[in-house]
Amino acid sequence: MNKKKYLITIFLSGFLGYFGGIIGYTLIGGDNKIIYQLSGLVMASIIGFIYYLYSKKKYSKELKEIQVEQKDERGQIIAGKSSMYTLILTVILSISIFIISILIGYELIAILIGVLYIVILTFYLLIHSYLEKAY
Amino acid sequence: MGGKFLKNKLEQIRKEKGLSQEALASKLDVSRQTISSLENGRYNPSLLLAFKIAKYFDKKIETIFIYEEEEQDE
């Protein structure tokens, strides 16, 4: 099994766990929407974790490849730049939605986007300040 | 990634030792893609990785990685 197939099987195990959880909760007669979603998430985590423990021995080579790629310096630079560009695009998108919301009269959405933007900016400044001292 | 890239003789030295990219990557604890990017000049290694490579091949860093000053227009 190659690394891509391994990652797909991990994803599928979580996916099946999610559906198993929500179906199980429905079968026992549950009707709370929050517990309905939580049961799916909990079961997805449990099944995913069990599959990970099982695969640790069986697919140790693929796991090692993934661990090496996570520590790999070039991979970390790519991940950092991807995060940065994603943040920039998210901010541009949120500003666009903010402007459009005001223009079409959906002030609540504009306010929520504005608050979200302030939270993102605050996180960015705090993290930046911390990293400036750390490095 | 971005900016000026060092030239290097990594591919030549690797082949002299009879190593594949994957084997060298495994020895240096990096991905095969990193070795490929280094050899193609698409990526500059960190100082730590450059030292690791030099130590592995028992050569000086300057033997493997070549820094050329940019010519300035007068």
pLDDT digits (tens, 9 = 90+) for B7-36: 899 999 999 999 999 999 999 999 999 999
Report chain A residues whose CB lies below 8 A from the CB of B21.
none
Q: Which residue has the tokens 């695009």?
A: A89
Report chain B residues whose CB lies below 8 A from the CB of A66.
none
Report chain B residues whose CB lies below 8 A from the CB of A74.
1, 30-31, 33-34, 37, 43
Is-above-0.80 flag for pTM?
A: no
Residue B15, pLDDT score:
95
Chain B, 55-74: which have a CB under 8 Å from a chain A CB? none
Reported as a pLDDT band with limits 50, 70 and 90, residue A79 is: confident
pLDDT digits over A107-127, tens only? 888 888 888 888 888 998 999
Q: Touching check for B24 and chain A: CB below 8 Å? A: no
Reported as a pLDDT band with limits 50, 70 and 90, residue A57 is: confident
Q: Do A72 and B43 touch (CB under 8 A)?
A: no
Nearest chain A residue to B44 by CA distance is: A74
Q: Give the closest of B1, B31, B48 to A72, CB-based.
A: B31
Q: Which residue has the tokens 């028992």?
A: B58
Asked if residue A37 has pLDDT above 70, the reply is: yes
Residue B23, pLDDT score:
94
- Mean pLDDT in chain A? 87
Q: Touching check for A78 and chain B: CB below 8 Å? A: yes
Nearest chain A residue to B22 by CA distance is: A65
> Length of chain B, please?
74
Q: Do A74 and B29 touch (CB under 8 A)?
A: no
CA distance A56 to B40: 34
Residue B54, pLDDT score:
95
ipTM of the assembly?
A: 0.74
- Hey, which of A49-53, A70-74, B26-30 has the most confident mean pLDDT? B26-30
B31-44: average pLDDT: 91
Q: CA-based angle A71:A73:A77, to the nearest 5? A: 115
Residue B3, pLDDT score:
58
- C-alpha dist (Å) from residue A55 to A6, A11, A65, A119, B17: 9, 13, 13, 39, 35
A49-66: average pLDDT: 83
Q: Touching check for B36 and chain A: CB below 8 Å? A: no
Percent above pLDDT 90 for chain A: 13
Reported as a pLDDT band with limits 50, 70 and 90, residue B74 is: very low
DSSP SS3 for B57: helix
Residue A130, pLDDT score:
92
Q: Do B34 and A73 touch (CB under 8 A)?
A: yes
Q: Do B31 and A78 touch (CB under 8 A)?
A: no
